[in-house]
Amino acid sequence: MSDTLKNALRGDALESLKLNSGYKVLINEIIYPLYKDAIILLEDKEDAEARATIKALKHIVGRIDDQINLGKQSREEYKQELHKHTQNTPE
């Protein structure tokens, strides 16, 4: 399996996760409250742990979005490769 196809499949899987109701629970009921609490703590006390929590949460959510975007791009590249291959195959 090519890296392009692997990236496309990973992106598809993450996108379907993001559309799943469980992802919304994860974001709305777990990550967002942690983020909100960390922001309040950071504003009140300049807490290093709160800063690390915010950074980690942003990184996780950003990484998921980046992988979805890479997957979409890879899916298009894979379609183009497949199209080229089918055009170059003698009948």
User: For residue range 69-79, what is the model confidence (pLDDT) as tens digits?
Assistant: 999 999 898 88
User: For residue range 53-71, what is the model confidence (pLDDT) as tens digits?
Assistant: 889 988 988 998 899 999 9
Residue 14 neighbours by CB under 8 Å, 6+ apart: 64, 67, 68, 71
Closest CA relative to residue 4, chosen from 84, 89, 57, 70 = 70
User: For residue range 10-23, what is the model confidence (pLDDT) as tens digits?
Assistant: 889 988 888 888 88
User: For residue range 24-46, what is the model confidence (pLDDT) as tens digits?
Assistant: 898 889 988 988 888 888 888 88
Question: What's the whole-model pTM score?
Answer: 0.66
